[in-house]
């Protein structure tokens, strides 16, 4: 007689950018090991890759490969809440006093604020424009191997879905890296700034927290801080 196979509960979440409802199971000892090894390495690339691998293991009939950066971070925090605990202890450094304060964060209260309108088409001249998408988590992983001087250009190239040249529609992925770089380096400065604004407006996982510090007079003072991005939660 073989050892029993364990049944595990399943949960549901709504993907912020698509509103699609997907199912997942909690992560198990094997996924804990993946995260622990990545954490011990201290390398951002290893941690990003571990999150991607754990999500792919735990999501049911859902491919995380093309998920946006903020969707991936949101899904991982929900996964962590139902795998370990919905409460996470983090250390906050107060900007005013540099005092370190331990705070408990309820991961079930994490949100992604989606903008009501997104202008993802940027004109380069009267004939040519580009259609952008939000960076995927896999894009962020690829960025870890790119030199800083090339990082912005490469990220823009990854996130241009289509190029419109009059009536012609071009797929950016059909062109070589050299062709992509030459094209992007020819953008007008104001158009490139508009593209940077698009990236900077990308939604993030957020949670407002409150914590207390001691003033110079010895009194308790309550302060607020907005956590943004998965790095703030660990």
Q: What are phi and psi of 160, to 5 degrees?
A: -90, 110
| pTM strictly above 0.75 | yes
**Strand order across the beta sheet in which 168-171 lies:** 121-123, 128-132, 160-165, 168-171
Task: Show me where the domains of the chain are located.
Answer: 11-113+204-233, 121-200
* Count of other CB atoms within 10 angstroms of residue 65: 11
Tens of pLDDT, residue by residue, the chain (234 residues):
789 999 999 999 999 999 999 999 999 999 999 999 998 988 888 988 999 999 999 999 999 988 999 999 999 999 999 999 999 999 999 888 888 999 999 999 999 988 888 889 999 999 999 999 999 988 888 887 766 667 888 999 999 999 999 999 999 999 999 999 999 999 999 999 999 999 988 999 999 999 988 877 778 889 999 999 998 887
């Amino acid at each position: 007689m073989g050892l029993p196979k364990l049944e595990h509960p399943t949960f549901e979440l709504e993907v912020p950018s698509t509103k699609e409802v997907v199912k997942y199971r909690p992560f198990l000892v094997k996924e804990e090991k993946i995260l622990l090894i990545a954490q011990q390495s201290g390398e951002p690339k290893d941690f990003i890759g571990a999150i991607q691998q754990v999500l792919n293991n735990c999501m049911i009939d859902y491919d995380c490969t093309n998920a946006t950066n903020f969707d991936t971070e949101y899904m991982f925090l929900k996964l962590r809440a139902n795998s370990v605990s919905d409460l996470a202890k983090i250390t906050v450094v107060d900007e005013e006093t540099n005092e370190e304060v331990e705070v408990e964060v309820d991961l079930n209260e994490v949100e992604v604020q989606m903008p009501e309108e997104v202008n993802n088409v940027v004109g380069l001249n009267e004939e040519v424009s580009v259609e952008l998408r939000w960076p995927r988590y896999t894009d962020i992983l690829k960025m870890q191997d790119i030199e800083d001087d090339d990082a912005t250009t490469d990220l823009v190239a990854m996130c241009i879905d289509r190029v419109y040249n009059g009536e012609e529609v071009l797929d950016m992925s059909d062109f070589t890296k050299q062709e992509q770089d030459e094209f992007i380096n020819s953008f007008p400065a104001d158009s490139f700034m508009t593209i940077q604004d698009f990236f900077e407006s990308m939604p993030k996982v957020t949670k407002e927290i409150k914590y207390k510090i001691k003033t110079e007079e010895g009194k308790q003072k309550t302060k607020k801080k907005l956590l943004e991005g998965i790095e703030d939660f660990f």
